[in-house]
Amino acid sequence: MIAPVLEFAEVTELTGPLVVLRGVEGVGWDEFARVRLASGELRHGLVLDVDEDLAVVQVLQGTSGMTRSGTRVSFTGSPLRIPVGPGWLGRVCDGRGGPLDGGPPVFGQATAPVGGVPLNPTMRRPPAEPVLTGVSAIDTLTTLVRGQKIALFSSAGLPHLELAAQIAAQAHTGTEPFSVVFAAMGLTHADATAVRDTLEERTAAGELTLLLNLADDPVIERLLTPRLALTVAEHLAFEGGRHVLVIMADMTAYCEALREVSAARGEIPARRAYPGYLYSDLASLYERCGRVRGRPGSVTVLPVVTMPAGDITHPVPDLTGYITEGQIVLAGGGAYPPIDALQSLSRLMRKGVGAGRTVPEHLDVAAQLLAALARERQARELAELVGESALTPADRRYLAFARAFREDLLRQRRDERRDLDQTFTRAWRVLSALPRRDLSLLAPDTLDVHYREGS
Amino acid sequence: MGVVTRVNGPLVQVSGLSEAAMYDLVDLGPDRIPGEIVGIRRDGATVQAYEYTGGLAPGQPAAALGVPLSARLGPHLLGGVFDGLLRPLTGAATWLGPRSVNVAGDQEWRFTPLAAEGDHTEPGTPVGRLDDAGALPYLLLSPGGQVTAVRAEGRLPIGAAVATVGGDQVGVTTSWPVRRPRPFGDRLGETVPLITGQRVVDLLLPVARGGTAAVPGGFGTGKTVLLQQIAKWCDADVVVYVGCGERGNEMADVVQELSELTDPRTGGPLARRTVVIANTSNMPMMAREASIYTGVTVAEHFRDMGYHAVVIADSTSRWAEARREFASRSGALPAEEGYPADLASALAAFYERAGLVRALGGAAGSVTIIGAVSPPGGDLTEPVTTLTQRFARSLWSLDRDLAYARHYPAVSWTESFARDGDALAAWHVRDGRAAWATQRARTASLLAEADRIAALAEIVGTGALPAHERVVLLGGRLIREGLLRQSALSPADAFSAPDRTTALSGAVLDVIDHCLDLAAGGTPITAIEEHDYSPLLRAREQPAARVPGLRDQVLAALR
Ligand SMILES: Nc1ncnc2c1ncn2[C@@H]1O[C@H](COP(=O)(O)OP(=O)(O)OP(=O)(O)O)[C@@H](O)[C@H]1O
Ligand SMILES: [Mg+2]
C-alpha cells in the first residue's frame, strides 16, 4: 500500500524548532514530514505529538525563515528512512547526509529507518575481540572491544577531538574488514578542518564516512546526525560483515539540541533542565552497538563527551557513563594523550584481550599497572599533605614508577601508531621500575620472560 | 471499542473506554500494541503503551480486553529469557519490531499427579508435579476444593489442563495480574540469612531470606557485577534476574554465563534455576515499568510452591525514571526532581512484596528483593536513593573511590547498613561457626578505627603515630586486601562459602592480634610493617582447609 501523501497548510504556531499544524488526519506519531517553505526550500521534520487534528512537528533544519501562511507540510506515512550501503564509504557529508565533498548524493541498494529497531537481547553475541587503536594507553589499559560502547570523557580545552581523530585514523581489526563512521556534532570550522585532514587518507581509501554538523549548522539537525551514522554503520556491519567503529563527537552538543526541543515543548525538566528522557534517548543511540548471532561484523560505539566545567556528575557524562561499558577519561595537565588511567575503564576488556586476541599476559599487566598507579596516587596525595620526605622509600619508588609510566607508555605523538609489540615492550619497561617482589599480580613465569630489573 | 485521540510517545489517549477498569489492558491500533489504562475520565482513558507507538494515529481503534496486565506463570519460565511483559524473547525475531514477540511455546514436561479424584485439597497444596521444568520439581497448586478430575502420569504440553478442582481447571500455566501481590498464609518471624557468597555481605552486611537489600552506586562502581555474583552463587532455589533499562551486552553475557556454570547443589546448569527478564535500555520504556512487577510476581509464584526465591532488579532507578517520564507526559504535578508524588508509596509497595512466609499450602517460602539504585551524579541524596534506604533492610552502598582503586566489591563499610546483622550473625553461631559474631564485630571495629587513624595520619604523618595505631592501620589494610576484596573474575574466589569466610576472617584477625602483641612487647613497628604478608593475602584464592596453614606461615615468620 502506498501511503497517501497529504499536504497540510494550516500552521497555527511556530515555536523554537517546532511547527504546530491543525487539520491533519491519519498522521501517526514519529512519522517523517516534508516541510516546504514559501521560498520553495524543502526541510524535514518528525511528528512529536498528534492530538486529534493537531500535530506537533520538529523541523530538523530549524524554523528560521518559516512563516505561518507560506508553509506546507506533507507526511510520508512512515518513520524517516535513509539509503544504506557501502556507497557511504569514502564520503564526507553534512549532518543530514548531504554531500560536502562535491560528489553526488549517496544512494544505496536498500533503506533503513534512522531510529533503528531494538535488537533482541537473546540475539546478541557478547563482545570478545579487540579493536586496536595504536594508542598505547588505550590498547593496554582500556582496550576497545568489538561490539562495545565506551565513552571518551573530556573537558573544554583538552585534545579529545585530536585523540578521537587519531583513533579513527589508526584503529583496525587485523585482517578483518574494518570501517569508521565519524559523526561530528557542533564542531567549529577550525576543528572540522583538522578532523577532516587527519581522516583524509582513510576517507580516500574508502574506509571511512565523515558526517559533519558544524557549530553554525541548525542545532536540531544534530538530533539526526548520530542516528544517521548508526544506521549507516549497522548496515555496513550486519549486512556487509564489517567491523565498524562509530565515533560521535561531541555528544554534549547533541544533548543541548535535545534540551532545546524539550524546552520549546514546555516539558517538565529533570537535572540541569535536561529532559527526563535523556537517559533513554542516549541509550537509543549507544545501545545500537553490538554483535549479532549468526552474522559477522560488529558495531563499536565511541561517544565523545565534553564535561561542562570538567564535572563528571553533569547529566550528559553521568548518563553516558551509566549506559556505556566503560570510559576513557582525559584530565588536564599531562602529556598527550592526557588519559587518566585510574578513572578510565573498559568493562568488556576482560573478555576481549588475552591469548589469541592480544598477548596472553595482557589482563595481568593491566591490573598490575593500575594497582601500582593506585598506590602511587595514595603516596602522591600523602606527599602533598605531609611532604615527599615523609614518604617511605617504597612509596618513593612508586612515584618513580608513575613518572616512567607517563613518559614511556602514555606519552605518544598525535600521528604515532604503535603496534602491540611496541606497546607491551614499553609496558614491561615501565613495570621493571618496580622491584620484582612488588609485582604480585604477575605470574612468576611471565616475570621470568619479561621482567628486566632496573631497566 | 474505543478510538485513539492522541499519541505522544508511550502516552496514548483514547475516547470511548471510560467504562473500562483501571489497569485493564488495551490493544492499540492495527498492530494491536499492548497498553494499560492508567487514568479514566468521563470522555475517555489514558493508556500507557508497552511498545513503540510509531505510526499510531488518532482515529485508529483501541480495544479494551477486560483483564489487567497479567503474567503467564508456568514451568516454561525456568531457564528462559523474557521481556518486561513476560513474553519469551528466546526464539523471537532478531530485531524487535511490533508483534515480533508472542507467547507461543512447544515445550512438554513429565507430569506426576499428587492428588487423586475425590480428594479434598486445601488452597495452595500441590495437585501435581512436573519434574523436568527446572532444577526443582515444579508444583501445580490447588485453588482449594474437591478434585473431580486429574490427569494420569505422562507428558504434558504448555496449554494442557492437569486437574479440575472445586469446579475450576488447574492448567500447566496460570495467569496473575502483576500489580497485585499473590496471597500467602502469614509472615514468619525467623531470621535466616541468604548466603550470597560475597564475604563483605555475608560477614558485615548480611541480608535475610525474605529481606530486602538496595545497592546504590554511581556508574562503574560494581552494582551489576555484585548482583550477577549473587544471582549466580546465592543459596536460593529460584533467581529472577530483572534487567530493567540496562545494557544488552550485559544481558547476553549473564545469560551465557548462567548456561555455562554448574549449580553446585544440583549439578545442572545454573540457568535452570533462573528466570531472566530483559528490558534493555533501548527497548520500550514503559515495559521497564512493568518488568519490576512481573519479576516479583514470578518470584511469588515460586514462593507459593515453598521455594526460596530472590528477585534481582538492575536498576530500580530506571523503573522510577519510566514512571517519571510517563507522569510528566500526562501532565501530573511533579514532586521532588520531577518524580511523581507517588514514588515513595510505589517503592514501599514493591519492597513490601518481599518476605519469608508460610505459603497458602503451608510450606515456608520466601521472596528476597535486591535492587540496584543508580543515583544521578552518584548523589546519594536524590529521591530514589533516599526513599529506597527507608524501605530496604540492608544497604550496600558502593563507593567510587574504592572502585577507582579497584577494591571490589566496592561496598563502603561506613555508608552501608544491615538491620538484621546481629540476628543473622547469631544464626551462624547456632549453625556451628562459633567465632562468626565476634569476627564480625572485630572486623567492623578495626575498619572503623583504621579509617579514623588514616584521617589522623593525613594531618600528622604516619611517623608521628604510636606503634599500636600503626598496627591498626596495617590491620585495616590486611582486612581490606585479605578478606573484603573478592574478585568476580577469580574462579577460586568468586564464591566464598561461610566456612571459608570465617576461616579467612579468623586468619586475618589472628595475624593482626599477633602484630598488636608484638608492638606492645616492643618489636620495632617498621619490622612489623615491612613484614611479608603475601601468604595471608593469597589465602583468598585457597580452599578453607588451607587457610590456617598460610596463617601459621605468616605467624611463624613474625615471631
Ligand atoms: N567484584 C568485582 N570483581 C572484579 N571486577 C569488578 C567487580 N566489581 C566491579 N568490577 C569491575 O568494575 C566494572 C564495572 O562494574 P559494574 O558493571 O558492575 O558497574 P555498575 O555499578 O553496574 O555500573 P552502571 O551503573 O554503569 O551499570 C566491571 O566491568 C569490572 O571491571
Ligand atoms: Mg550496571
Choose between A16 and B424: higher pLDDT. B424
Does ligand 1 come within 6 angstroms of the Cβ of B404? no
Q: How many alpha carbons lie under 13 Å from residue B527 in its C-beta half-sphere?
A: 11
CA of B494 to the centre of ligand 2 (A): 18
Interface residue B259 vs chain A (CB under 8 A): no
Phi, psi of B39 (to 5 degrees): -165, 140
Percentage of chain A lying above the pLDDT 90 cut:
76
Atom of ligand 1 nearest to the CA of B246: 27
Q: Is the pLDDT of residue B222 over 80?
A: yes
Q: How many degrees, rounded to 5, is the angle at CA B55 between CA A53 and CA B48? A: 85
Cα separation, B251 vs B231, whole angstroms: 13
CB contact under 8 A, A390 and B95: no
B210 within 8 A of B366, measured Cβ to Cβ: yes
Taking CA atoms, what residue in B is nearest to A145? B249
Tell me whether strands A243-249 and A178-187 are parallel, antiparallel or unpaired.
parallel
CA-based end-to-end distance of chain B:
86
For residue A322, give the ligand nearest its CA: 1
- Among the listed ranges B226-235, B282-291, B344-353, which one has the minimum average pLDDT value? B282-291
Q: 3-class DSSP state for residue A449?
A: helix
| Domain covering A7-79 in this structure, CATH number | 2.40.30.20
Please compute the mean of the pLDDT values over residues A26-49 and round it to a whole number: 92
| Domain covering A82-351 in this structure, CATH number | 3.40.50.12240
CB contact under 8 A, B283 and A118: yes
Please compute the mean of the pLDDT values over residues B12-21 and round it to a whole number: 90
From the CA of A123, how many Å to the nearest CA of chain B? 6
CB contact under 8 A, B54 and A31: yes
Q: Is the pLDDT of residue A6 over 80?
A: no
Q: How confident is the model at residue B105 (pLDDT cuts 50, 70, 90)?
A: low
A106 within 8 A of A84, measured Cβ to Cβ: no
- Pocket test of ligand 1: the residue of B198, B224, B242, B406 to mutate, having most ligand atoms within 8 Å of its CB, is B224
Does ligand 1 come within 6 angstroms of the Cβ of B346? no
Provide the residue ranges of all domains of chain A, joining segments of one domain with +: 7-79, 82-351, 362-450
For domain B2-69, the question of CATH label 2.40.30.20 is answered with yes
Q: What pLDDT sits at residue A455?
A: 53
CA of A377 to the centre of ligand 2 (A): 26
Taking CA atoms, what residue in B is nearest to A372? B405
DSSP A118: P
> Least CB-CB distance to B252: which of A27, A124, A350?
A124
Fold for B186-418, please state it. Answer: Rossmann fold (3.40.50)
In 10 A of CB A377, how many CB atoms? Answer: 16
Q: 3-class DSSP state for residue B466?
A: coil
Provide the residue ranges of all domains of chain B, joining segments of one domain with +: 2-69, 103-175, 186-418, 436-558
Q: Is the pLDDT of residue B241 over 90?
A: yes
From the CA of B408, how many Å to the nearest CA of chain A? 12
Q: What pLDDT sits at residue B265?
A: 81
CA distances from A297 to A131, A178, A325, B284, B384 (A): 12, 9, 19, 26, 39
Please compute the mean of the pLDDT values over residues B78-99 and round it to a whole number: 88
Most A CBs within 10 A among B247, B250, B541, hence the mutation to make, goes to: B247
Atom of ligand 1 nearest to the CA of A321: 26
Query: Could you report the per-residue pLDDT of A64-88, keeping only the tens digit for each?
Result: 899 998 899 999 888 899 999 999 9
Interface residue B375 vs chain A (CB under 8 A): no
Q: How confident is the model at residue B103 (pLDDT cuts 50, 70, 90)?
A: low
Q: Is the pLDDT of residue A289 over 80?
A: yes
Taking CA atoms, what residue in A is nearest to B333? A268
Atom of ligand 1 nearest to the CA of A322: 26
Q: How confident is the model at residue B338 (pLDDT cuts 50, 70, 90)?
A: confident
Same fold flag, B103-175 and B186-418 = no
For domain B103-175, the question of CATH label 2.40.50.100 is answered with yes
Q: Is the pLDDT of residue A185 over 90?
A: yes
Ramachandran category for residue A292: left, alpha or beta (phi over 0 → left; psi -120 to 50 → alpha): beta
Q: 3-class DSSP state for residue B323?
A: helix
Q: What pLDDT sits at residue A93?
A: 96
- Among the listed ranges A181-190, B245-254, B299-308, B507-516, which one has the minimum average pLDDT value? B245-254
Cα separation, B157 vs A198, whole angstroms: 62
Taking CA atoms, what residue in A is nearest to B221? A322
Q: How confident is the model at residue B377 (pLDDT cuts 50, 70, 90)?
A: confident
Q: What pLDDT sits at residue A169?
A: 97
- Average of per-residue pLDDT values in chain B: 93
Q: How confident is the model at residue A1 (pLDDT cuts 50, 70, 90)?
A: very low
Choose between B92 and A197: higher pLDDT. A197
- CATH, domain B436-558, list 3.50.50.60, 1.10.10.10, 3.90.550.10, 1.10.1140.10: 1.10.1140.10
Please compute the mean of the pLDDT values over residues B528-551 and round it to a whole number: 91
From the CA of A145, how many Å to the nearest CA of chain B? 12
Would you state the torsion angle of the CA atoms of residues B56, B62, B64, B69, taken in this order, to the nearest 10 degrees? 0
- Pocket test of ligand 1: the residue of A319, A322, A325, A347 to mutate, having most ligand atoms within 8 Å of its CB, is A347
Cβ within 8 Å of residue B93, ≥6 positions away: A120, B100, B101
